[in-house]
Amino acid sequence: MKMTRLSAFFGLLALAGAVSARADNIAYTDPANQGRQAYGGNLALNFNVLSPITVNELGVFNASGSGTITGTIKVVIYNTGTNTAVTPVVTFKGNYSPAGLGFDVFQAITPVVLGVGSYEVHAVGF
């Protein structure tokens, strides 16, 4: 199994998470200058797991690169085959240490194994 940081990408504050898992690495990193957009709805990105992976962190894009999330952003991963949440809902608000290319922030979760299948990383609140 591979240890993976899964980052929910919010540019436009659009979600992303192209899952190409590697041992103890961020699955998707976000470069600077992705832009901002006030959007109050839910955003999600579907991805497929081809070999089991363990997710031990969820993250969000921080457009300023400061590590500060001024609103409240909630992130969760769903199994799209069963329509069930497979991770806890993680709430981001406040100050974090930037990671990745400096525009992502993360929170640890109890490790969750994602088996082969289809999933969706889902977020709301920007």
Residue 13 region by backbone torsions, left for phi larger than 0, else alpha for psi between -120 and 50, else beta: left
In tens, the pLDDT along 25-47 reads 566 555 555 555 666 678 888 99
Cβ of 72: how many Cβ atoms within 10 Å? 12
pLDDT at 23 > cutoff 60: no
In tens, the pLDDT along 67-121 reads 998 889 999 999 999 999 999 999 999 999 888 767 789 999 999 999 999 999 9
Residue ranges of domains in the chain: 2-124
Q: How far apart are CA 32 and CA 53, in angstroms?
A: 28
How do beta strands 25-26 and 2-8 pair? Answer: parallel
